[in-house]
Structures are given as C-alpha cells and as structure tokens.
Structure 1
Amino acid sequence: MKDERVVNDDQDAYGHGIYDCFIGKGSFELVECEYGHLCVSNGPGEYLSGYEDWPLHQQKAMHYVKGRVLDIGCGAGRHALYLQEKGFDVLGIDMSPLAVEVCKLRGLKKVKVMSITGVGSESEGFGTILMLGNNFGLFGSFERAKLLLKKFHRITENNARIITESTDPYNSTDPSYLQYLGSNKKRGRMPGQLKVRVKYGSYVTPWFDYLFVSKAEMKEIVKSTGWEIKEFIDSEDPEDSVYVAVIEKESENESEKESGFISRLAGMRKRNDCQ
C-alpha cells in the first residue's frame, strides 16, 4: 500500500493549531463534514493534556500497553510522552510535520512524519500499536482497515496488541447527520465513513475519510485479519458513545481451527466433485 503524502505547511491546520496552543496562544480548529456540518473541536489544548486530565477509559487503556509501542497519529504526543516516562520504548508517527515538531520540543525521543499507510517492515517488533483519540478513524474505510490490520499482523510481535478508540456513529438524533449515514450506505461506504477536512485560520487540510464504527462493525472489520477483540472499555459517561477496544492476535489454536475447517470444507468439495 502506497504511503500517503504528508501535508504541506498550508494544509497543516492540525499542526498549526497544536503549535499555537503549545506556545500559549488560544486556538480552536473547525471540522467540516461534506454534508455541510461545521463544528468546533475540543481544541488543540486537549492534545497537550496530561494523564490526570484524560477520560477514564483512556487511563484504563494504559494498563494494557506492553513491549515496544507504536503510537499512530500521535499528535502532540500526550500518550507517547506518558508511556516514555513510564519506561516504554515508544515511536510516535503523525502526518503533520508541525505536530511532530511539537512532540520533539516536548521531549519525545522517537517521532517521525509518517502516515498510517507508511507503516512497514522497518516498524517490525512492536508489542503494542496505540491508536487512541478516536484514531481507529485513520483506517478510513472498511477495505483499507482490513488491509492495514493484516499488515500490522505481519510486522508485530507474536503476542502483540492494538489499543484503539472509536465512537459509535449511530448515537445521534440529528436528522441531517442520520440522513448522511444513510447516504453513505447507499453509496457503498460504511455509514460512519465521514469525509471531512480541518480548518485553522487560513490553513485547510485536504478532504479525507475518517471512520467511526459501532462495536459490531469493528468486530466485522477485525474478522479474518489474524486479530480478535478481547475487551471493550466504555466511556464512564453513559451519554457518550466513545469506547476503547483492546485487540490481540488470534491464538495459534484459533488459527489452526479456522485452517482445519477450511481444509475439511475443501476436502468435502473434492469428494463431491468425484461422485
């Protein structure tokens, strides 16, 4: 899979918002969806927050981290820096050059400009892939998620984990939003596959797909990729539909069972063909 082009400076709305917040300027980014909705984000300041200010489900997720860590979409490095301080070997990657620069200024030792599709064989040996901050969305689509999960399976340790976060897209009463979900489905897209762009001042990102999924949809995406969902960690707020998923590599026994079933099915077909 070809690596996505990193954003130019005039497209780095995300990075400029983070940088301005880092140097003490108040800043808020706008997220525009293709169906016309425009909303103000929680603000780049959230990307600089410390552990004590994280939602409880993200704090709980830290207990599942093990081995070398790859933080995909690391932003300003809040999760990577926390784990680095705890003694973990962490590599952060982000498509935003300015966000990566802020990570360096904040003391993250290993960080580089790279997209999720740029992760390859040079990234082998990780025990945990971290995708918090709704970063399951970076998979973009059902098909791309499947391909990338299979790639992650090849380059990670035998007992590796993916710790990721998403939001159930169906927990809404906004008629225009629900109509958009239906329109996506008619177009052969996942309902929660939102086409969005980020604006900050004069900086505007290109349009890109960001994927929100229900738990059932995530299970369907993970199926047959070599991974399985071990646990969901729900938000402490019952009104909130955000959740963390702890995904682990399937055990060899499970893989053998599937392989054995396929072999038996092929054998049955062969016998039937001979009759």
Structure 2
Amino acid sequence: MKDLMGKAIWDFYHDKNAEDLLTETSISEIDELPVEYFFRGFKDMNLIEQKALELSKGKTLDIGSGAGSHSLYLQNERKLDVLALDNSPKSIEVCQLRGVQNVLCSNILDFSGETYDTILLLMNGTGIFDSLDKIDIYMEKLSSLLKDDGQILIDGTDILYMYDRDEEGGVMVPADHYYGEVDYFIHYKLDTEKPIKWLYLDYQTFQRVAENNGFKIERILQEEDSYLARLTKKDLN
C-alpha cells in the first residue's frame, strides 16, 4: 500500500505543498477531494457526522480515523476515552501529532482485545466491508469488539442514483454484482494507489444483513441518499 491518502494528510499537516487528492470509482469520473476536508472542526462537519458524535458515549473506537478530527472532538469536547484506528501509518502519525492520545495503525480485521461502548465508522463507514460477500466477516468482528449494551454508529450511501435508467424508468444496474460494490481509486501528486474494493450500501440491504448477523438496526438520520444507522446487539435471552 502506497498510503497516498496518508501522505496527503501528512503533507497538509506539515505544510509540505499538499495537493488535492483525486478520487474516482469504477462508475464515476475523477473528482477532487481537498485534503483540508479531513481537518474539519465540528461546525464544518455534515449533519450525519455531527449527530454521530453527539450520540457517542463511553469507551469509543473510531475506525478509519483519518486525520483524527472525529477522535479529537470526542476526546477534547466530549471527554470520552477514544481510540483512533486506521490502516494508514501516515494518518495515524498525524492523529498523534494533533493530540489524539490513543492511536493504533491496524486493519480492523487484525485488531482485537478490548470491547467498546461505541464503535464509530463515518465518511461512508460501510465502505470498509469491501463487498456483500465479505460483510458477514466484518459484522462478526464488530460484534466481538462491542459490549453487549454497546452501539455501532455507521453511515452509508445508496448510489442507485448514479446509474442510468431505461425508457420505462428501470435502473440499469450490473447483473453480475451488487450495484453498490465499486473499485475505488486514489491519485496524489502523479501517483496512483492500487484500487480498493469499496461498498456503498443501501439501508434496506444493510437492515437485512445486520439482522441476519444478530443486530438490531435503526435509521437515525437520512440526508438525501445518505443515512446514519445505529446497530445494537439483539437481546441475548
């Protein structure tokens, strides 16, 4: 992994001529992603992020922490015990330099140990599931990290709107895979990261998968095509 996103975050923090990241997917063209987006304060975050941070409680695991903005808010403003977890070494280094007290560079599937009152996955948190056929593995991992009375706060986006429609109004989705499974590409300073699998999950599909894996799920907030969901473990008795 070239860690291009981490390099951009590191360059921006150290004032090393950071450039915008360029992102694209297998179904969309190249788009600019300003690096400062990862350094936003609470007031500049979207409503889904703000609501998730307001609902966070207790010992919190921030998965895919990036530059650490969510973790810093929870640590400094909410006074929560939070661990920033990301598989980007440069991003985790910046988290630490910005003042996040507890950080760890790891893939979520390789991480184990303690359990948490809140597990946070934001900025299309469903993306880390890769694809529908791997989601059960991630659900099992998240369940093992969650206290029995804990909560998972996660956001996702239904990207059905990105597909063309036929003359009858039917959506022309792929026949060989779920339409929310895409290849995600990152470009930075003339370099390109190896594409990753990224999952955009509509709420109805997520509801079915979550319930099949022993979770209750509720939609906390809907903003256009994106939503914030809260998962809790079903009653054990």
| TM-score (norm. length: structure 2) | 0.90
Could you say which residue in structure 2 is the equivalent of 1:163? 153
Equivalent positions of 1:49-64 (< 5 A) are 49-64=40-55
Give yes or no for contact 1:74–1:94 (8 Å, CA) kept in 2: yes
1:223 counterpart = 2:211: yes
1:250 counterpart = 2:227: no
Q: State percent identity of aligned pairs.
A: 27
Higher helix content, 1 or 2: 1
| Secondary structure of the corresponding residue to residue 173 of structure 2 | helix
Q: CA deviation at 1:211?
A: 0.4
Q: State which of 144, 147, 162 in structure 2 corresponds to 1:154.
A: 144
Q: Deviations over 1:43-68 (max 9, x none)?
A: 12111000011112221222221221
| Secondary structure of the corresponding residue to residue 31 of structure 2 | strand
Cα 1:159–1:18, aligned 2, differ >3 Å: closer, same or farther? same
Cα distance in 1, alignment partners of residues 116 and 40 from structure 2: 25
1:118 counterpart = 2:110: yes
1:127 counterpart = 2:92: no
1:137 counterpart = 2:127: yes
Q: State which of 198, 201, 204 in structure 2 corresponds to 1:213.
A: 201
| Secondary structure of the corresponding residue to residue 37 of structure 1 | strand
Structure 1 unaligned spans of 5+? 1-6, 257-275
| Secondary structure of the corresponding residue to residue 182 of structure 1 | coil
Cα distance in 2, alignment partners of residues 199 and 115 from structure 1: 21
Equivalent positions of 1:167-206 (< 5 A) are 167-172=157-162, 182-183=173-174, 186-187=175-176, 189-206=177-194
Give yes or no for contact 1:69–1:128 (8 Å, CA) kept in 2: yes
| Secondary structure of the corresponding residue to residue 162 of structure 2 | coil
| Secondary structure of the corresponding residue to residue 67 of structure 2 | coil
Give yes or no for contact 1:12–1:204 (8 Å, CA) kept in 2: no
| Secondary structure of the corresponding residue to residue 223 of structure 1 | helix
| Secondary structure of the corresponding residue to residue 144 of structure 1 | helix
| TM-score (norm. length: structure 1) | 0.78
Q: Deviations over 1:131-157 (max 9, x none)?
A: 011121111111222121122212321
Q: Which amino acid aligns with 1:69?
A: T
| Secondary structure of the corresponding residue to residue 219 of structure 2 | strand
| Secondary structure of the corresponding residue to residue 208 of structure 2 | helix
Q: Which amino acid aligns with 1:145?
A: I
Cα 1:173–1:33, aligned 2, differ >3 Å: closer, same or farther? closer
Q: Which amino acid aligns with 1:225?
A: N
Give yes or no for contact 2:184–2:197 (8 Å, CA) kept in 1: yes
Q: State which of 225, 232, 237 in structure 1 corresponds to 2:220.
A: 232
Cα distance in 1, alignment partners of residues 4 and 172 from structure 2: 26
Could you say which residue in structure 2 is the equivalent of 1:259? none
Cα distance in 2, alignment partners of residues 101 and 151 from structure 1: 25
Give yes or no for contact 1:92–1:112 (8 Å, CA) kept in 2: yes
Q: CA deviation at 1:212?
A: 0.4
- The structure that has the greater radius of gyration is 1
